[in-house]
Amino acid sequence: MERRLDISGYILAGGKSSRMGTDKALLMIQHEPLLKRMVSLIEPFCQSVKISGESSGYNDFNVEMIPDLFLDCGPISGLYSSLCHSSSDWNLLVSVDVPFVNDELFRCLILNIGGFDCIIPEHTGGIEPLVGLYHKRALPVLKEMISRGDYKLMNLLRKLNTRFVDCNSLTQKYPRLFMNINRIEDYQSI
């Protein structure tokens, strides 16, 4: 895909990885750190790619890091901070711990760009708010939720004009598409 679309990419890597016990972004997947893999995956779709989160361990990747503007709020702060930083209306946000997302999924989401606030994959296994496209017009709702202490992304999706994209055909084709690495057992199963 050519880089003509005005989409900025952000990899959500600011989590504490408390269940994993080590920084998930630096885990090796197919002979490269997970963070590097994610940068390579979204780069073809984005004018720029940044890391949402800060760690001295990320310095070697030569990718700009965006610090969370609100601490201890979970992924909603990374989403808010990324959209505040972005110069693009549309932004592809992907959590660092879903190593099997692919270009077919990103194309599917991008094809749905329209008059929505966000474009989110859904399948029989659930809804994936940490792999999606978010428009900057979501910022006021994000800020209001954070100020009220409501950090649940599912609540955010209910407040926004969300386009849910049926990804069941993709999950049938790629059963591990949305596999999330949270615990050491998840990582060892790869």
39-77 confidence digits (pLDDT tens):
999 999 999 999 998 888 888 888 999 999 999 899 999
Which domains are seen in the chain, by residue range? 7-188 (3.90.550.10)
Give the chain's largest Cα–Cα span: 42
Q: Dump pLDDT digits (tens) for 1-35.
A: 444 579 999 999 965 555 555 778 877 788 888 99
